[in-house]
Amino acid sequence: MKNRGCLLFVLLALLLAVVFALWFIPFQADALFGPPAETLGGWQQFNYALRLIWYDGLLTEPVDSYGSERSFLVEHGEPVASIASRLEQEGLVTDARAFRDYLVYRGLDVSIQSGRYVLSPSMSPVQIANRLQDATPTQVVFYVLPGWRMEEIAAALPTSGLSVTPGDFMAAASVSPSGLDFLPATVSAEGFLFPDEYLLPREASAKDLVTTLTRNFALHLTLDLRDGFNRQGLSVYEAVTLASIVQREAVVADEQPLIASVFLNRLAAGMRLESDPTVQYALGYNAIQNSWWTNPLSLADLQFDSPFNTYVYAGLPPGPIANPGLGALQAVAYPAQTTYYFFRAACDGSGRHVFAETFEEHLKNACP
């Protein structure tokens, strides 16, 4: 009887321990991490609650309290397991499995929104999980593509997430930014709105945007680039003007130094540049083609009277016709050494060009 009593006592104690655990573990998890998702069954709620308590600091403590912010992109339709794994790989969470279990426990795994976020290792995994529920972060990624003119940058603003309007941007970019020694006081920022990927505050003003773009240009304007421009007999403004033409002419990036050499050879010989993109810039917006770059150009277009038309006027146009990338700037600073004076599009649709020393060779390179 005594043994039976002991056994009953042990069983009762175990039963009480189980009951206490079934109550305490979910209660503790709720207190630490919030209530579980209603879609989870009772056993699932207990199972995930137990895991979260086991993980302890893996979910509530940051990877690096002094870590800096970085951009993190969640692709459309990306599985939660992939997101968690990449967060661990990038040092934003300590344990991908613990992070994934927290998402499932809270029901946040089904509400992560695609987009680019600003995250930091100084955030706890719980904070990161909640940040990923907000598709409208405080900062926005904005792209400026090489060869865009000011109006094309403005046209990208309405869908960018920035609060800057196209009109406000055009007004700000039409005035020469202060504090830049390479920009004449009477010109616009055209040519100096450096093509790049930018992480910007959503509430940035038009002036903030122009300042950020032009300062980025200044950061890329190294002493080597300046020396290269000087060796070509060009000021920074003249070099950027030529680079903008090279940018628009070159479909294939590795041809930029060759194309730059042609234009520099023509300038040295006193020949007109005769560049189609300068005419396109002069013509402006083509409402029929819905483009700022009319293509093809007619014979009448080539005679359009504008100082930017290098078929009509010799030398460089008055200013840049677009915003060149670093490759085009480097091509002007360090062009290929050639004896070419002409080039035209190759006939194979590759986007490449064929180059010639004489006008006769140039004519022979015409497509059948």
- Give the CA dihedral 363, 338, 319, 290, nearest 10 degrees: 50
Asked if residue 284 and residue 203 are part of one domain, the reply reads: no
Which residue range(s) make up the domain with 144? 140-220
Final residue in a domain of this structure, among 220, 247, 263: 220
CA distance 363 to 146: 30
Asked if residue 212 and residue 253 are part of one domain, the reply reads: no
What is the pTM for the complete model shown?
Answer: 0.69
Asked if residue 166 and residue 63 are part of one domain, the reply reads: no
In a domain, 266, yes or no: yes
Asked if residue 203 and residue 104 are part of one domain, the reply reads: no
Low-confidence spans in the chain with pLDDT less than 50? 17-21, 23
CA distance 314 to 257: 22
Asked if residue 193 and residue 283 are part of one domain, the reply reads: no
Q: How remote is the C-alpha of 40 from its chain's centroid?
A: 39
CATH code where residue 87 lies: 3.30.1490.480
Asked if residue 172 and residue 124 are part of one domain, the reply reads: no
Asked if residue 355 and residue 237 are part of one domain, the reply reads: yes
Asked if residue 84 and residue 30 are part of one domain, the reply reads: yes
Look at the chain and report how many structural domains it folds into.
Answer: 3
Question: What was the pLDDT predicted at 52?
Answer: 78
Asked if residue 251 and residue 172 are part of one domain, the reply reads: no
In a domain, 56, yes or no: yes
Rg (CA), the chain: 31
Question: What was the pLDDT predicted at 49?
Answer: 77
At 83-111, the pLDDT tens digits run 999 999 999 999 999 999 889 888 888 88
Question: What was the pLDDT predicted at 33?
Answer: 75
Final residue in a domain of this structure, among 157, 192, 220: 220
Question: What was the pLDDT predicted at 76?
Answer: 79
In a domain, 15, yes or no: no
Question: What was the pLDDT predicted at 10?
Answer: 53
At 258-284, the pLDDT tens digits run 999 999 999 999 999 999 999 999 999
Question: What was the pLDDT predicted at 20?
Answer: 44
Asked if residue 320 and residue 353 are part of one domain, the reply reads: yes
Final residue in a domain of this structure, among 137, 162, 196: 137
CB contact burial 271-286 (16+ within 10 A = b; e otherwise): eebbbbbbbbbbbeee
Asked if residue 102 and residue 174 are part of one domain, the reply reads: no
Asked if residue 355 and residue 243 are part of one domain, the reply reads: yes
In a domain, 6, yes or no: no
In a domain, 318, yes or no: yes
In a domain, 13, yes or no: no
In a domain, 3, yes or no: no
